[in-house]
Amino acid sequence: MSETLARQWLAQDPDADTRSELEALLGDPNSAGELAERFAGSLQFGTAGLRGVLGAGPMRMNRVLVQKVSAGLGNYLVADLQDGAKRGVVVGYDGRNKSRILAEDTARVLLGMGIRVYLSTFVVPTPVVAYGVTHFGAAAGVMVTASHNPPEYNGYKVYWENGAQIIPPQDSGIATFISEIGSVADLALGDLDTARETGDLVDLDNAMVSLYLDGVEKLALHPGLLGKTPLTVAYTPMHGVGARFVKMALERAGVSGVHVEPKQEEPDGAFPTVAFPNPEEAGAMNLVFELAKKVGADLVLANDPDADRLAVALPEADGFTMLSGDQVGALLADYLLTEGPQGDRRLVATTLVSSQLLGIMAKDRGVDYRTTLTGFKWIANAAIDARRENDARFVMGYEEALGYSIGELVRDKDGVSAAALFCELTALAKSQGSSVQARLDALYRSYGVFQTKQVSLVLPGADGSAQINAHMQRFRDEPPKQLGGFAIVESHDLANGGMGLPASNVLVYFLEGSCRVIMRPSGTEPKLKCYYEVCEPVSDGEPVTAAKERAAAQVAALSASHQGMLA
C-alpha cells in the first residue's frame, strides 16, 4: 500500500529533490518501514500550524503538501468569506531551506484560484505577516516557517482575517477542504510575473516594513528615553531573519549601542553555529554571551529564527543570567501596567502553562485577566473577544516559551516590538539608579518567588507518539494523590474541556502551597511536555536570594518526583 501511495506521489511531485529521495526509498528493499511511516497519514494543524521534517510524503513538509494545503485554504476562504478572493492572502517566508519556494508555491496556487496575493519580496519575521493581514484587511495570511525547530524542519502557519492564527472552526474546515484535493498536477497555477502586471499579485517591500516599524515605535511609553540613557546591547538573530528588523526598531527607539553577533547575523537555513536554533537550548547563546562580555553589554537579546520570540539575559558578576519567559512576561506586564495609560479597562493574558504570577498581579491591580490554552492563537483571540465584549484594551500577553505581544499592533507574538520595549524598560531602571533585576526582585517581594521549570520527553516517530499517549492515559486511569511530597488539592483533565477552556489533551494538577504540575503532548514537536511551578514567599527583611534558593530546590524535587513516575 505504501509503495502504491509513494508512486502516486511521485507522479505529481514538482520537486527534483524529493522525487530523487522517494525514488531511492522505493529502490531500497530495507525502506518499507520508513515508507509506511511517511505515508501513514498527513501532517495536521497543531499548536502553531503545520510543521514537519522536509522530505517526500504527506507526513513530511514539501511542495506537494504545501500546494494541497494552499488549495484547501483557498477553497475554504472562498466558501466562508463572500469577498475573500478580492481581499486576498498575505504570504511571507523566513530563511529556512525551501521557505521561499514554498511561499511562491502558495502564491501560485492561490492566484490560480483567482485569489489576490500579497507576497513578500524578501525574508521577513512572522509578526510582519500577522501585521500585514490586518493592515491590508486581507482574508487570511500564510507564513512559511518552522520557528525554532531544528534545521531539517519547515512549516506553514495560517492566519485568519482577524490577524490571529486559525482556531476552530477554521482549522478543521480548512482540513476538510484539503482532504478533497486530488493530485496537485491538476491544479491551475498562476504565473507570478503575469499576476504582478495585472495587479493580482502585490509585492510586499520596504514600504510595508516601514509601516510596521512605525507601529512598533508608537508602542513606546517614554519616547526619547533611550536617546538620553545610553544602552549597550548584544544581540543575535540566531541565523534567522531578525537582525535587520531589530536593528531598525532599536535605532528608531534611540539605541545607538547595538552589537550583533557577526557569525549569526545573516539568515542561514543550515544554522551552522548552533545545534538547535532555540535560545532556550543549552549552548545556543554562547557566541552572543562572548560578544556581550567583550562590549560590556547592559543587556543581551536574542530572537529565534523567525523573530517572533525574544530571549533576554542580564549581566552579573561572573557572566550573564538568562531570564525565563515567565520572568520577562512579568517584567513587561509590570512596566506596561505601571508606566502605561491608566483609567480604562485593561486586559493581560497568558497561557495555562505559563506562570500563575501574571494572574495574581492582574487581580492586585484591578486589571482584567485571561488564561488560555497553549498557543498564541488563543491569546490573540481572547484579546479580540475582550475588545468586542467589554471594550477592554489589550495591554500585553505572553507565553512561557519566550513569546510576547505588546498592545494591539500584532495579533501574535512579536520578538521585534518586545525587544524595543524591553530596552526601554531597562533604560528607565538605569535612569532611576536601579536595574532590571531589582524590578524583578520587587515583584517577588510583593507576590512571592514563582519558580518554574519545564521538562520535555522527546519521543519521535510512531512508537514515540504511542508512548506519549500511554503516559497521558496512565495518569488518567490512575490519578496521583500527591506529587513530590505535595498533596494534590485540585486536578483537571481538559480532554472534554474544563477550567473555562476548550477541550484539549492536557492534565492539570494544583498542589498545596500554590504549586502546580501540567502535562501535555506538544502540538508541533514529538514531545511530552511537563511544566512545574512552586511559589515561595519572601519574608520581611529576608534576602530574595534565600527565597529563590528554596524555590529552586522545591521545583527540582517536584520535577524529579514526577519524571520518576514517567520513567
**Any idea which residue has 534576602 for its cell?**
543
**Which CATH number does 326-446 carry?**
3.40.120.10
Dist CA 31 CA 34 (whole Å): 5
pLDDT (0 to 100) of residue 47: 61
- Show the cell assigned to 101: 519556494
Query: For position 312, what pLDDT does the model report?
Result: 98
pLDDT tens over the chain, length 567 residues = 789 999 999 999 999 999 999 999 999 988 999 999 999 999 887 666 899 999 999 999 999 999 999 999 999 999 999 899 999 999 999 999 999 999 999 999 999 999 999 999 999 999 999 999 999 999 999 999 999 999 999 999 999 999 999 998 999 999 999 999 999 999 999 999 999 999 999 999 999 999 999 999 999 999 999 999 999 999 999 999 999 999 999 999 999 999 999 999 999 999 999 989 999 998 999 999 999 999 999 999 999 999 999 999 999 988 999 999 999 999 999 999 999 999 999 999 999 999 999 999 999 999 999 999 998 999 999 999 999 999 999 999 999 999 999 999 999 999 999 999 999 999 999 999 999 999 999 999 999 999 999 999 998 887 888 999 999 999 999 889 999 888 999 999 999 898 999 999 999 999 998 899 999 998 777 899 999 999 999 999 999 999 999 999 999 999 999 999 987
Give the length of the chain: 567
**What's the pLDDT at 21?**
95
Check if the beta carbon of residue 414 is closer than 8 Å to that of residue 308: yes
| 257 beta partners | 232
Q: Are strands 89-93 and 117-120 parallel, antiparallel or unpaired?
A: parallel
Query: Which is nearest to 313 in space by CA: 335, 291, 333?
Result: 291
User: Where, residue-wise, is CATH 3.40.120.10 in the chain?
Assistant: 36-204, 212-322, 326-446
pLDDT of residue 81: 92
With CA atoms as reference, report the closest residue to 289 among 320, 268, 252, 267.
320
Q: Residue 55 to residues 15, 180, 323, 363: CA-CA distances in angstroms?
A: 10, 22, 36, 49
Q: Which fold has domain 212-322?
A: Alpha-D-Glucose-1,6-Bisphosphate; Chain A, domain 3 (3.40.120)
57 contacts 9 by C-beta, under 8 angstroms: yes
CATH no. for 36-204: 3.40.120.10
pLDDT at position 401, please? 93
Query: What's the count of helices (H) and strands (E) in the chain, helices before strands?
Result: 20, 21
Which position among 2, 70, 120, 147 bears the catalytic label?
147
Q: Among this protein's residues, is 147 annotated catalytic?
A: yes
Query: Kind and range of the H or E element at 144?
Result: strand 140-144
3.40.50.300, 3.30.310.50, 3.30.70.260, 3.90.1640.30: CATH of 449-566: 3.30.310.50
Contacts of residues 14-20 at CB distance under 8 Å and 24 or more positions apart, as own/partner, are: 14/63, 14/64, 14/67, 14/184, 15/62, 15/63, 15/64, 18/55, 18/56, 18/60, 18/62, 18/63, 18/64, 19/56
One-letter amino acid identity for 531?
Y
Side chain identity, residue 230: P
Domain with CATH 3.30.310.50 in the chain: 449-566
